[in-house]
Amino acid sequence: MKKNTPFIPGFVYLVFLVFLMVSCGQQEPVEDKVSKVSPKLKTPSIIYLDSLVIEKKRDELDKTFERLMRVTGFNGTVLYAEKGHVILKKAYGFADVRRSKDDLAVDDAFQLASVSKMFTSMAILILNNEGKVNFDQDIRAYLPNFPYEGITPRMLMTHRSGLPRYMTLSHDKWENKHVPMDNDDMMALLIKYHPEVYFKPNNGFHYCNSNYALLAKIVEVVSGQHFDDFVQERIFKPLGMTNSFVHNMRGDSIMSEYIGKGISGFYHRGRRWREMENDYLNGVMGDKNVYSTVEDLYKFDQALDQGTLVPDSLLKLAFSPGSPRHSRRKDNYGFGWRIKSDMDSVVYHFGWWKGFRTFFIRDMRHHKTLIVLTNKDKGPGSVHFWDIIESDTLALGLKTNLQFNEE
């Protein structure tokens, strides 16, 4: 089976560059005035910032993305917040990039791809808080027919199970690619063919979507609900994430055009942008398939600060390194979050799937958040941007230091 290889999309550098631009600049004075204090927080959720500071940062960020849109065709929505203030929230480009009409809106829902994993891990955290899931129990307690021994929910969440990739297996063994495959089907393939593992449980790190697809199945078994219904009821609804949903393909015996509330993803071929078609793998949830907006994601971000869904003690686990430090990697992985070892207090996740690229970065110490959602895959507006920032020393330093393994 093919080993995981480094995948370093150019746009990743840009997003981190923008984050550093607004995080590493001159520190503005922070007064003791507090406009809102959450009783669940040791620090206020909103800290006074001078209006001129806010306006300056908003203008700098807006100019960056406006220039990116002009030069490369960047297409997406952006939200940057600091100390409880939304500094910039704006949409750039069009919902349908082929026709250049119908402007994007900040309440348009994008496929989050792997950024979905933070919601899957949150579902497990909620069930653990209720005493229904043990992080360190063999998952066969929840999935009795599972053929691999010694794997726990903790290992799934931190990508230390060693399991093979279900996408590779389904490419070879799922016969009718016009019929969607769901989480039960994914498990059935693992049971039937029992492909070789990458390593024994907890003996290494291997980023693998199988882990989070299995976590979604555990949520279903333990809660008695479909995964999408659980996330809607226990996460989206309590937080007022009214434009968010988990796409499911239940009842779709034969795939046709994609039916959903979110916008489409696009890929570049030749000189034209083409709309991504539906895919049989879109029936599997947990590793992807959450659709959301920058506004809703910021509500989730604020809920993490306020301890709304689970206690702070559990959230600390989510943001704690799950693997020993390896010299070949600059990052680590917690429960649904990547952790920058060389950027203190920064947690993040990126996603890439079927025409969508998504970015969610949090600097927890300084209360700064950057969310970027795009619906362009490879091509202009996605990876070709270095010509506009090549002289920036921050970008050059970032280019030599960042390494990612993304599926």
**For 242, what's the count of Cα atoms within 13 Å in the CB-facing half-sphere?**
3
- 123 within 8 A of 157, measured Cβ to Cβ: no
Give exposure, 205-228, as e/b (b: 16+ Cβ within 10 Å).
bbbbbbbbbbbbbbbbebbeebbb
- 20 within 8 A of 342, measured Cβ to Cβ: no
Which residues on neighbouring strands pair with residue 350, listed in sequence order? 359
**For 351, what's the count of Cα atoms within 13 Å in the CB-facing half-sphere?**
33
Select from 241, 265, 285, 278 the least CA-distant residue to 358: 265
Give helix then strand counts, H and E, for the chain: 13, 16
CB under 8 A, 24+ apart: contacts of 321-327: 322/154, 322/157, 322/158, 322/159, 322/160, 323/158, 323/159, 323/160, 323/205, 326/205
DSSP 366: T
End-to-end Cα distance, the chain: 14
**Which residues touch 191 (CB under 8 Å, ≥6 apart)?**
145, 146, 147
Task: Give ∠ CA 131-134-139 in degrees, rounded to 5.
Answer: 135
Please pick, among 38, 100, 114, 253, the residue that the annotation labels catalytic: 114
Select from 73, 214, 101 the least CA-distant residue to 152: 214
User: Residue 139 CB: number of other CB atoms within 10 A?
Assistant: 25
Residue 173 tokens, joined: 């063994």
| Phi-psi category of residue 195: left, alpha or beta, with phi > 0 → left and psi -120 to 50 → alpha | beta
- 56 within 8 A of 376, measured Cβ to Cβ: no
Looking up tokens 């988990």, which residue turns up? 246
Catalytic residue status for 292: no
**Which residues touch 148 (CB under 8 Å, ≥6 apart)?**
161, 163, 190, 197, 201
Give exposure, 102-134, as e/b (b: 16+ Cβ within 10 Å).
eebebebbbbbbbbbbbbbbbbbbbbbeeeebe
Kindly list the catalytic residues. 114
